[in-house]
A and B are shown apart, each in its own frame.
Chain A
Amino acid sequence: MNRMSKLLSNTWVRVAVVVVVAALLLIAPLVLPVFANQTLTRMGVYAVAVLGLNIIMGYTGQVMLGQIFFLGVGAYVTAYGVNNDWNIVVTFFAACILPGLLGLVIALAAARLGGLAIAMVTIALPIIGVPLAKRLTDLTGGSQGTSARFSSAPDWTGLDNDQWQYYMVMVITVIGFVLAYNLVRGKFGRAMAIVRDNEAVARSIGISPYRYKVMAFTIASIFGGASGFLYMVAVQYTSPETMSFAHSISLLAAMVVGGAASIAGSLIGGVYYVLVPQVTNAIDPTVTAISQGIILVAVLFILPGGLVSLPRVIRRLTRKRDTAVATSPQTTSPMHQDAGQAAEGPETERQGQS
């Protein structure tokens, strides 16, 4: 175990691991069957949505229940742009910016009331969004939905459609993850963390919790819109059902199961979102909802940091056993605790009841 972690801390080994993973991701679609490619593509789509949710919920600590709404808006904007022959780049930016503006307006009102107001307001978004999408038939195609075929592989690539879609989604997903990584590592990320941990402290050092909540929410909705664009790349069709309430809850569950306040956790969340319903649906469609509830509650009980914290927890447990015989029982130093890790842990953050 010890030798293993020493090996992993070697820079060259890390670089090698990254290179191997990148190469695998690049080669995978060329050798995998169509269904596997489509599944991987959808994982990328939802990873971006979960990433956005993580920025507002994991990093800034504001429970948000309407991320699927922004995905839906992004998908509709994409469909509208494609069907009206907009340039694809313009369409992409429109699919990011329009949900972003919507998110900004919603956050300006919702963040006014502290505490859980954002959760209570955003839970309504999918529930209003579905009838609204059905009503605005001219823009959305009503209940039948609308399709937009723009992600077929160009001839010069010699790729199949599923491979081309995979690469498109992967490029945008990787860019999104790099942007988010830099965002949460920087000044902005530290400001979000302090807003999450203690609003009074944030205010006292000149960080306006209101402003940062609104900004984080807007960024989350932009990511939601981008994932809507990717959704259209992958699925080429959207209907009001895309943004149903149940999907919104699943997205939140995926974020928590993957790992709150963790970039890698968002990726795991995307994988979870696609994979688990596929498995449970194959067993018995009626158990999908119940298994999701059980998994979410169980993760919160056993592994509040999400799946991404699993290696750390295992390491801590094994180290505890090693050193229990030797010297002091105090083994885990707070230095090893990733700053973001504290987000969902009930053991941390125990502020005095005043």
Chain B
Amino acid sequence: MDTFIQLVIDGLALGSVYAALALAIVLVNQSTGLINFSQGAMAVLSAYFAYVLIGWGFPTILAILGSIVVSFLLGAIVERLLIRRFEGGDPDTAVVVTIGLLTLFTGIAGWIWGYNNRQFPSLFPLETVDILGAVVSVRSIGTTLTIVGIMVVLQLLFQGTKLGLALRAVAINPSSAAYSGLPVGRLLMIGWGLAAALGAVAGALVAPALTLTPGMMDTALVYALAAVIIGGLNSPLGAVVAAWGIGVLENLAAVYVPFIGYDLKIAVPFIILFVVLLVRPQGLFGRKVVVRV
């Protein structure tokens, strides 16, 4: 029983990292209709920013906050300079651009910092606490709570502020939003910036466990995409719930299903995904998108 609780809480922590990335993907998809395949690579760059700041002697929390700010700017710049040109055109081209950015950002990280693993300090103490007899690391709890906190803030931003209202308007109908005087371009930049900032959080949370490498987020990106499909592309809540579900289930499967084990646990979300796509292709929480011709 205690192993079970421990696995569930560690799974939630893992799932929280996927959730942060999945939220970033949903955010971009909501505002531009794109899937940003470079979201993970941008998160890696953010983690390296934080790594550099820590190297300069900043405390970990300040370094991470700094990298979040830098990432916000990076996301906004990427949207303005690169993605803007392909918006409104063929979506496939824009997606290929993000795949190019995935290689580019991974390449930049590898070029500057090399491909060796680097240690990244944890934001949370390495202690453990007892919960119902199970030994649970503070890091897992902290990671999960951080994501819950971010979700609340995002929810407040989108539902309770004027900026959130404007962002939602652009997501629903960019041309009408433009007619009513909203600065659509600037709002899209903010959307991408927010997504990149979320990615920075994901990067900082996962880097201590995985150690910092340019390809650190490749796997997390795949999990996040699976979560996005399972939860529904247009449902932030669905994506987070799906990400947690994936994190918990894969952890349980790794221990209780001998064939899967730790090396094959990445197959778990895709078995779920397969079933979901066959039974409910719009995702568990998603709405069916109807395209008018």
Contact = CB atoms under 8 A, between A and B. Distances in A.
Given A112-B277, A116-B95, A200-B291, A134 B110 contact: no
B99 interface: yes
Contacts of A256: 96
Contacts of A95: none
B104 A350 contact: no
Contacts of B97: 297, 300
Interface stretch (B4-12, B69-77, B263-271): B263-271
A43 interface: no
B110 A121 contact: no
B108 A290 contact: yes
B278 interface: yes
B266 A350 contact: no
A112 B273 contact: no
A220 to B, nearest CB: 15
Interface in A225-259: 245-246, 249-250, 252-253, 256
Contact of B107 (A123, A131, A291): A291
Given A123-B222, A123-B225, A124-B226, A63 B95 contact: yes
A115 B291 CA distance: 11
Interface residues of B, number: 59
Contact of B277 (A110, A286, A350): A110
Interface stretch (A16-24, A170-178, A315-323, A341-349): A341-349
Q: Which of A61, A123, A200, A354 has the most CB of B within 10 A?
A: A123
A127 B173 CA distance: 36
Contacts of A87: none
Q: Which of A63, A124, A253, A304 has the most CB of B within 10 A?
A: A124
30 contacts: A112-B281, A113-B282, A115-B233, A116-B95, A119-B37, A119-B95, A120-B225, A121-B270, A127-B222, A127-B266, A128-B264, A134-B263, A249-B99, A253-B103, A288-B107, A289-B110, A289-B214, A290-B103, A290-B110, A293-B100, A293-B103, A296-B96, A297-B100, A344-B90, A345-B90, A346-B85, A350-B88, A353-B173, A353-B175, A354-B291
